[in-house]
Structure 1
Amino acid sequence: MGTGSLEEIQVSTKALEEFFQFLQCQLRMEALQCFQQELELEDPCAASMWPHFQAWVKPNLGRKEKWMPFHTVLGVHELFMVQNIHHGPVASWDSKRKFFAMFVFRAHCKGDFFREAQLPHLLLESFWKNPLSQFSENGQVTKSMLEYRQRTKQPLQTMAFRCIPARLCEDDDENLVRNIALRTRTLLEVAGQVWPIVCDSAKSPEAKFDQISREIQRGHGLGDTWAKMLMASIDIAYPDLGLLSKNCDVGVGAVGGLRRLMPNSGLDAEASSSRLAALKLVTKAANRCKRPSVASFWQLLSKVERVAHQRYKKMPLIMKQVATVAGALSAVTVQVQLCEWRQLLEFLEKNNINNNSSSNNNSNNNTNSNRVSGKRLAPLSTSASNNNTNNNPSVAAASEDEDDLPLKGLAQASAKLRKISSDAALGGG
């Protein structure tokens, strides 16, 4: 259905209120998981949704990494990149190297794997002479990745990825490593094409968005889910470009939420232009809505962002993402949250739960969208905050993964680097 006909279709006020009740639950969970702050839901409708929300979100926390908070930058993978790459302690990395390092991490999204198997190589000048060769079948980083897997038996990619490795060789560990190495090469090739676009001051944000999205999706095996993920990562790293201020790639994961909000739209799930047009209309309606649940959302958002400002006041990239102007939700934020809401709707329907956001025929879509990010990093807080965390089982359970640990300087990486240099001097692999 075309944009013109969509404009004539009214967004459901009732469904919009349900969406904002869900967003309040998202904010409450974000405050709990990311800041160890217990904030009450003053909106009675959101409060009644909370127990069902908790039942849905609990399995998605922790190692599964399948929950995205309201502020995308506070997702575990996004926060890792900001803290350890963009605001990280590696003095030898200029903007371009940080950009490429971000793509290396995005190939798997595992913090410990990046720190131990890849970072020591990314500190070497020799790596930057030909990064692609480092991930060839016999490349130095590929060898390091295999050694890490054989030694630790730890996962090499986030559980949020639904990537089934192609069978490239008989040994399972080597096969997984080679798949990730190939994916990394693809992403580095994409990074090489995208970097000049990012740096081109003559192009408008809209032109950059279109070009970058096309370049990403030209990469082997990369579709709109990868385009969304990488575009969000670039936007977080370079917020002043305004890449997502007016546009975003709308995946099929948002369709269930869009259809619930616009039940008479006849939305074509296969047409990206139709999805984008619907998203823009929903975003416009959301920012104009004055219903009680919407007002409660804005009040709660202000509280959460004040807490975020205190926690991350020394990290400008995070500060820029937690400064939402009232009545100015971005299309990309709405898109990401629609994907989360759609999952809650499906959970409620599957379990026959009658809530404000209860079962609805339009929400049960075969979206099969890839999940790319989720849980929080461990708190960078005082002992008082840590005590608060320990008193809350749900928070403690979410921080058990080694990937929750932020990068603690370069001591471990430097030790690994010394070993690599020693091995090279001795003629080792």
Structure 2
Amino acid sequence: MAAAVASSGGRKRKCEELSAPELGQLHEDMLERVLARLPPASFFRLRGVCRRWREAAGSPAFLAACARVPARDPWFLMLSDQQEEEEPRPPCPAVAFDAAEKTWAQCRAAPGPVPVAAAGGLVLYRAPETGALTVANPLSGVSRALPPPPPAATDALYAVAMYGSPYRVVLILGELPHLSMAVFDSSKNAWEDAVPLSRKTEASPADTRAPHDDDDIDEDMDGDGDGAVYYLSKSGDVMVSSTQRSASRQYSSAVTCRSDGGEAVAYFLSHSGAVVACDLARRVFAELPRILPVHFEYSIDVVACGGRAYVVVLSEYLDTASLRLWEFSDGAWRHVAAMPPAMSHALYGKKADVNCVGHGGRVMVCVSSGDAGANGCFMCDVGSNAWEELPRCAGGDGEAMDFVAAFSFEPRMEAAV
């Protein structure tokens, strides 16, 4: 009897082993479909598993299988404070925060040029010395240099926008209120001639003045002045109110558009911290009313997520700090989310700067300050107003890295440059 049981057990185990095929027994088409469903961070290791997986990871069929995955959680390409230094230390590998796995991953992004925009699975880089533009897929490492803009686009760069698939790159040129735009269309592999932008003059919600705005101050802030207003603090010290801005995001913008790429609107900040909305199809722009009085000292950034544009404001009032998200709707600013006071109070008195980016329903806020204790990255789910502080990322020397900004992209191996 024991022998029979043992024999039966042996047959059972053998049947189970035969009925559970290994990945090596899968047909090529099925293997590529399985690999395409792996977390994107796994794609870096596919080529090192075996020859078959290496061949599969480089096949057009694998990229086609990746394209059939409807959506992936975003990655946030992080910019460290090393890029802000005049004499940077040896470059470290590009780092991204994987929102799905809630962990840090390395990208194949070039450490030299500075990211200025992102769309879909691609990131746009700009060389600070020459202004040369390069589009890259941070997951696959594939990149291409864009042709130089048309000779007519010689004005100073004000903002950069990127959107759509096939993607478009838009350069906003000049100074307010005299702006123009030049557009690169990847489907044509060519730049369109630079065209002037018109300032919106007809009555509309975007033209409504905020109750606390002062016309004389606004005219000086957005005109030929130095973009700063001096005033006395409660202690009698002379203070200056101007937009704090990470050098890495000085040209960044947030773009909202329909799923088909139409009706794209780029939102960016003026040098004085006013929000400018630019309709890229109609070639018009408007300055939105200020959220806070111009003499307030605060840090501000604009983001796009879920097809909407939001403004993130870090300000201080009544001996505490407040970090809030606002949306411009029906001619007025509407409060939509706020960091819990227990979290935001730690930023009080730190002279902190916020640089933010949105994707889907999430907004990432990078807080940088001269006080290392105030540095950190936070994630907000706008719909639920749920906030969390992200874990610190250790650099090559084992020390926690401080990030000053981020750009979001959808990790897709198949995204073509």
TM (norm. structure 2) is 0.27
TM (norm. structure 1) is 0.26
